[in-house]
Amino acid sequence: ETGVTQTPRHLVMGMTNKKSLKCEQHLGHNAMYWYKQSAKKPLELMFVYNFKEQTENNSVPSRFSPECPNSSHLFLHLHTLQPEDSALYLCASSQLLAVRNNEQFFGPGTRLTVL
């Protein structure tokens, strides 16, 4: 049903592993976002891509590396994470330069657990 898909839905990884999260939007949007949602905290914006160009890196540690190969796909590469990085990672997309450009549509998220 959702126009934004994320895989995997659940991921458990060790601190020395390398993994990637994938997001795909089927809405024809031109902006994509990564958010982190920890328990009892507001949504934290991590990265913003407008027209495939990164326009925001919200002081995110370098162990998180985003990649946006085209306007429909967004990846988050993970390397040497810490247990405190365990959270729900949400991807969203929106259509900039449109009347309703502020409306972001979210994927179901990837529940990440770092051991």
| Site residues for another protein per CB under 8 A | 2, 4, 6, 31, 33, 41-43, 45, 48, 50, 55-56, 90, 92, 94, 96, 100-109, 111
- Minimum CB distance to another protein smaller for 22 or for 79: 22
- Minimum CB distance to another protein smaller for 31 or for 78: 31
* Count of alpha carbons within 13 angstroms of residue 28, beta-carbon side: 2
The radius of gyration computed from the CA coordinates of the chain, to the nearest angstrom, equals 14
Question: CB–CB of 108/10 below 8 Å?
Answer: no
- Minimum CB distance to another protein smaller for 15 or for 98: 98
- Minimum CB distance to another protein smaller for 39 or for 62: 39
φ, ψ of residue 95 in degrees (nearest 5): -110, 105
Query: Can you tell me the distance from the alpha carbon of 44 to that of 112, in angstroms, rounded to the nearest whole number?
Result: 15
Residue 53 sits at the vertex; the CA angle it makes with 72 and 36, to the nearest 5 degrees, is 70
The distance of closest approach from Cβ of residue 114 to another protein in the complex, given in angstroms and rounded to an integer, is 18
The distance of closest approach from Cβ of residue 107 to another protein in the complex, given in angstroms and rounded to an integer, is 5
The distance of closest approach from Cβ of residue 27 to another protein in the complex, given in angstroms and rounded to an integer, is 12
